[in-house]
Amino acid sequence: MTSPVPAHARLSIGEVLAELRAEFPDVTISKIRYLEAEGLLEPERSRSGYRKFSSRDVERLRYILTAQRDSFFPLKVIRENLEARDHGLQPGDEGSRPVAPRVVLADDGAPTADSFRTDPHERRLTRAQLVKGAEISDGLLDQIEQYGLIRGRGPNGPYDGSSLAIARTVGELAAFGLEPRHLRAFKTAADREVGLFEQIVSPLHRQRDPGASARAEETEQQLARLSVSLHTMLVRAGLRHRR
């Protein structure tokens, strides 16, 4: 198994081929160039015109090759799935509609640190894309924003992946009669937790050594995981005691 490509690395097309050849023996430079010509890849170009592939490009290429090999997806479906991934949606099977991504959970149903990692390449969604991806109405989105559960950068967005996940969850709760106005307490509690965590993480952000930023991010993710796990256990215990 090959090692992950470092996030900052830029690989030549030959290096990408070497990276993927063990997993995809049939891949060739011509195939990579063809996928680029079809608009599925957009590697950077050096001043001399040579292709330079980022870790995200390699992961994208790996997804394309896997979808062709394992699912026999045509390029049209792969293109649609890539567009869904770019907008924070979870690609569907052939013929099905992309949906909002699910939170990464451990075997016991609790969140993991990966549940709180952010994708620096995540694209923004318009209002129409958010409504479609979350499977909610425009009216419900108005209420969600009215009570501060999510907030776009403007009247029509853009929105990020977290907004999509929140909107979808609120839509599922609405099916049980819980309206956005009932959920304002969740936002208030979350804001208080974030403020508490900032007191712990801020000193790490002020440190100047090279690893400070990574330590701060890891601390934030672990604090978030523990916070949500505690909330889950408290709700479980409360429901159990009411039986």
Domain ranges of the chain: 13-72, 113-242
C-alpha torsion 193→196→197→202, nearest 10: 150
Q: Give the helix/strand (H/E) hosting 81.
A: helix 75-86
Let me know if 25 is exposed, middle or buried by CB neighbors in 10 A (0-12, 13-18, 19+).
exposed
> For the domain with range 13-72, which CATH number is right: 3.30.420.40, 1.10.10.10, 1.10.1660.10, 2.60.120.200?
1.10.1660.10
Q: Which CATH class for the 113-242 domain?
A: mainly alpha
DSSP state of 222: H
Least confident of 19-23, 96-100, 168-172: 96-100
pLDDT of residue 121: 54
Rounded CA separation 223/210 (Å): 22
Rounded CA separation 70/73 (Å): 8
Q: What count of residues does the chain have?
A: 243
Least confident of 15-19, 114-118, 132-136, 205-209: 114-118
